[in-house]
């Protein structure tokens, strides 16, 4: 089995894949062989032992243990989480994790002024999107930040745009506007909200859909027509209201981590 860990600033997603230790054909879907997945809050103060207990608990739900794990692949935007996973592997496993970082084979060229600045999750997304759809492709990731990244027809990561994410934008709105309160993130009945709650929901759902559509349109002005793929925790909320998004892949990042792991066997 293969553990893949995508540690974002707000949440960490863990996936468990079937794996026999050998690379296979690149025609899989992200959920092919995905045995289970779990989402936890990202806590940079969590020790490697605490993380080991969490992961062991998740594995126990599948009647598995660390003894069944053949590898770990990691994308992380939180250095202390990366360090904790390395320490976990050193203490409880007999192999090092494959971490997306300089020196790791990804199979994708990074056309960026400083490639080291590109987030590991953005690279994993690009790897998976190109394997599935070729290029040019745009990946819209709805996480702590909303990112739109482009992959060329030749499989090069070209860069992208980073905007504040939906949830942190909503938190900022409620925190700075005394008359507004937190609301459930869902699509309202109409764009023209008939209450303050619906008006906030309209701005969040339809507003962020329009934001991504606008960014994709500007990227396509530079690259020509692109396949647009959405991923991230809120992708399924926004996608139905977007005019540009063609595919929703909730496990795109996990699939990219699996592919990167296999390139480094």
Catalytic residues, by residue number, are 121
Cα separations in angstroms, 7 against 4, 110, 127, 233 = 10, 21, 17, 13
Cα separations in angstroms, 13 against 5, 9, 41, 239, 241 = 6, 11, 9, 20, 25
- Token digits for 81? 């989480």
HSE of 31, CA atoms in CB hemisphere, 13 A? 5
**Residues paired with residue 139 on neighbouring β-strands, in sequence order:** 149, 229
Give the C-alpha separation, 58 to 95, whole Å.
Answer: 20
Whether the link from the prior residue into 136 is cis, omega within 30° of 0, is yes
Instruction: Provide the edge-to-edge strand list for the sheet that holds 11-17.
Output: 34-41, 11-17, 2-7, 71-76, 98-99
């Amino acid at each position: 089995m293969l553990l893949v860990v995508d540690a974002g600033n707000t949440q960490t997603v863990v996936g468990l894949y079937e794996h026999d230790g050998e690379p296979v054909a690149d025609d899989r879907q992200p959920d092919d062989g995905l045995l289970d997945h779990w989402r936890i809050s990202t806590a940079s103060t969590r020790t490697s032992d605490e993380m080991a207990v969490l992961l062991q608990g998740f594995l126990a739900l599948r009647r598995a243990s660390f003894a069944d794990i053949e590898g770990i692949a990691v994308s992380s935007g939180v250095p202390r989480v990366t360090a904790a996973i390395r320490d976990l592997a050193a203490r409880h496993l007999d192999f090092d994790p494959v971490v997306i970082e300089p020196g790791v084979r990804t199979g994708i060229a990074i056309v960026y002024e400083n490639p080291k600045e590109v987030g590991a999750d953005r690279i994993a997304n690009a790897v998976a999107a190109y394997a599935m759809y070729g290029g040019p492709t745009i990946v819209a990731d709805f996480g702590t930040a909303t990112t739109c990244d482009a992959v060329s027809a030749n499989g090069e990561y070209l860069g992208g745009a980073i905007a504040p994410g939906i949830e942190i934008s909503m938190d900022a709105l409620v925190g700075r506007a005394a008359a507004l309160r937190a609301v459930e993130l869902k699509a309202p009945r109409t764009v023209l909200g008939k209450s303050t709650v619906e008006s906030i929901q309209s701005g969040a759902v339809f507003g962020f859909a329009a934001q991504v559509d606008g960014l994709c349109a500007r990227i396509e002005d530079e690259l020509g027509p692109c396949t647009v793929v959405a991923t991230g925790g809120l992708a399924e909320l926004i996608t139905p209201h977007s005019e540009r998004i063609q595919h929703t892949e909730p496990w795109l990042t996990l699939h990219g981590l699996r592919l990167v792991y296999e390139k480094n066997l």
